Amino acid sequence: MKAVVTGGAGFIGSHMVDLLLKENFEVVIIDSLVNGRLDNIPKNPNVKFIQADIGDYSINFDSYFEDVSYVFHFAAMADIVPSINNPLIYHKSNVDGTINVLEVAKKSKNLKKFVYAASSSCYGIPDTYPTLENSPINPEYPYAHTKRIGEEYVLHWGQVYKLPVVSMRFFNVYGLRHRTSGTYGAVFGVFLAQLLNNKPLTIVGDGEQTRDFTFVTDVVDACYTAAKSNITNEIFNVGSDNTYSINYLVELLGGEKVYIPKRPGEPDCTYADISKIKKMLNWAPKVSFEEGVKIMLENIEQWRESPVWNESSIQTATQDWFKYLGK
């Protein structure tokens, strides 16, 4: 069978490719390499790589989707501050790109499932924890908003054109190959680079905020399980079934620490209610948080070339965060 993975050279997408290859799929990777890396693409005769921007309507992608059985749409622009500074770029990638992939996938005669990588950031600062799929939608910044609009298009194409779609709302994904360069962002990349360079770990606020850290292999396993099921036009939270404080993460990692100001627009807790995916897909996460952190530490050299953030550089990088999201 054949699958297309957009963003397949990226962090989560490359793990999706690995799983599909284990399941004997032919895989077409479409990635612009803006966030993805060539090193993430396996050298395998069953992999075909196309470097292209899925938001570019002038490119004809039809031939790559011929006879495709599954589409895993992971390509997207991520990060909060760049989305605040460049909302049009995010719209082009996360909204226009999604519509483009939907339109091409619609032409496949063999499509069994279109799996969309949605974001739990659509919930904004939730009212209830654990957070259910039917919780209010309240994105706090353009990245979250564009991912939510993309999700709406996916579900709408399912409704109108009968595309067999599912949307998977990811919570705080971490794991190997997480991006090691670029803008200030995910806590694991920041902390591991600081550890490698014997710098203090910069903890936002008092560190008591908690996150539903979900290991990347569990995330792609959830996507594959949804793809192989007969369930369509549904939204599923994908989480670890728990939530962990940043202070606990720092305790597991070790090292010195320093506290920096709490940021606006961030929830004190992210915690997915995964009862729906457990019930409907019989899926549950397999990698414990402690095991996941151990894997990260064993592979810490992956972050050797990452930028090393400190209090001053973080303050500079997050100026617009405070400017636009501060109440």
pLDDT of residue 104: 97
The whole-number pLDDT of residue 79 equals 86
CA dihedral (160, 161, 166, 170) positive or negative: negative
317 pLDDT more than 60: yes
5: left (phi over 0), alpha (psi -120 to 50) or beta: beta
Instruction: Over range 142-156, report the average pLDDT.
Output: 98
Active site residue 143: yes
**Listed residue (132, 99, 134, 137) closest to 121, CA to CA:** 137
Binned at pLDDT 50, 70 and 90, residue 181 comes out as: low
What pLDDT, in 10s, does the model give residues 91-140? Answer: 999 999 999 999 999 999 999 999 999 999 999 999 999 999 999 999 99
Flag the least confident range among 19-28, 127-136, 310-319.
Answer: 310-319
Taking the domain 2-173+213-238, which CATH number applies?
3.40.50.720
Quickly state the pLDDT bin for 233 (edges 50, 70, 90). very high
The two tokens of residue 187 are 């806590």
| pLDDT grade for 326, boundaries at 50, 70 and 90 | confident
pLDDT of 222 > 80? The answer is yes
In this predicted structure, what is the pLDDT of residue 183? 56
Across the range 241-255, mean pLDDT stands at 96
pLDDT at residue 176 is higher than 60: yes
pLDDT band at 327 (very low <50, low <70, confident <90, very high): low
- Return phi, psi of residue 36, to 5°: -75, 165
Q: What is the pLDDT of residue 243?
A: 97
Burial class of 324 by CB neighbour count within 10 A (0 to 12, 13 to 18, 19+): middle
In this model, does residue 226 exceed pLDDT 90? yes
User: How much is the mean pLDDT over the chain?
Assistant: 94
List the domain boundaries for the chain. Answer: 2-173+213-238, 176-212+241-270+287-317
The catalytic position among 70, 116, 143, 184 is: 143
The reported pLDDT for the residue numbered 22 is 98
Could you give the CA distance from residue 224 to residue 219 in angstroms, rounded to a whole number? 9
What are the backbone dihedrals phi and psi of residue 2, each rounded to the nearest 5 degrees, phi first?
Answer: -120, 140
Is pLDDT of 179 > 80? no
β partners of residue 244: 211
Q: How far apart are CA 139 and CA 95, in angstroms?
A: 15
pLDDT band at residue 180 using 50, 70 and 90 as cut-offs: low
Query: Among 78-87, 147-156, 267-276, which stretch is predicted with the lowest mean pLDDT?
Result: 78-87
Pick the residue with more confidence: 322 or 174?
174
Contact of 202 with 250, CB cutoff 8 Å? no
pLDDT value at residue 323: 86
Strand ranges inside 52-112, DSSP E: 70-73
Q: Is residue 291 helix, strand or coil?
A: helix
Check if the beta carbon of residue 222 is closer than 8 Å to that of residue 265.
no
- pLDDT score of 306: 86
Q: Choose the weakest-confidence range: 62-76, 140-154, 252-266.
A: 252-266
Share of the chain above pLDDT 70, in %: 98
Per the DSSP assignment, residues forming a β-bridge with 9 are none
pLDDT tier for residue 309 given thresholds of 50, 70 and 90: confident
Cα 41 to chain center, whole Å? Answer: 18
Percent of the chain having pLDDT more than 90? 85
- C-alpha distance from residue 107 to each of 111, 164, 199, 209, 227 (Å): 9, 13, 52, 45, 18
The architecture of the domain spanning 176-212+241-270+287-317 is: Alpha-Beta Complex (3.90)
pLDDT of 264 reads: 84
Q: Could you give the angle at which helices 246-253 and 289-298 cross, rounded to 10 degrees?
A: 40
Residue 184: pLDDT above 70? no
